[in-house]
């Protein structure tokens, strides 16, 4: 994803996230209002990682991220499925280079 195509507020958030990661931190958070383009930030950050998991509240949000990010190699799961996996002692969120918790 071309970061120059991001709106200014999303480009600034992307740059801060990447700076944070480049400083050695492993966690980052972007807090923007609904509908401001967080999916585009996910796409821009994801371009720097190989194995990616996006966790979202429902399939509608997953579909929104999928249509924005346009990568077939990203795994998606809902919070409910993640909790069910944990209850069943499955480890569905292991081995990823980047895990995104959306909304």
Please give the C-alpha separations between residue 62 and each of 7, 21, 75, 81, 103, in angstroms, as whole numbers: 21, 24, 10, 13, 11
Q: Band of the pLDDT at 94, cuts 50, 70, 90?
A: confident
Per-residue model confidence (pLDDT) at position 87: 81
pLDDT tens per residue across span 23-33:
999 999 999 99
Residue 88: what pLDDT?
Answer: 79
Buried b / exposed e across 45-59, counting CB within 10 Å, b at 16+? bbeeeeebbbbbeee
Is the pLDDT score of 103 beyond 90?
Answer: no
- At 48-93, the pLDDT tens digits run 999 999 999 999 999 999 999 988 899 999 999 999 988 877 777 7
- CB 75, CB 53: distance < 8 Å: yes
């Amino acid at each position: 994803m071309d970061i120059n195509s991001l709106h200014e507020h999303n480009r600034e958030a992307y740059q801060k996230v990447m700076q944070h990661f480049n400083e050695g931190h492993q966690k980052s958070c972007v807090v923007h209002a609904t509908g401001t383009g967080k999916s585009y930030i996910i796409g821009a950050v994801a371009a720097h990682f190989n194995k990616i998991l996006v966790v979202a509240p429902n399939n509608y949000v997953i579909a929104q991220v999928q249509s924005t990010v346009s990568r077939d190699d990203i795994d998606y799961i809902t919070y409910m499925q993640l909790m069910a996996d944990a209850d069943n002692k499955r480890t569905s969120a292991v081995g990823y280079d980047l895990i995104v918790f959306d909304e």
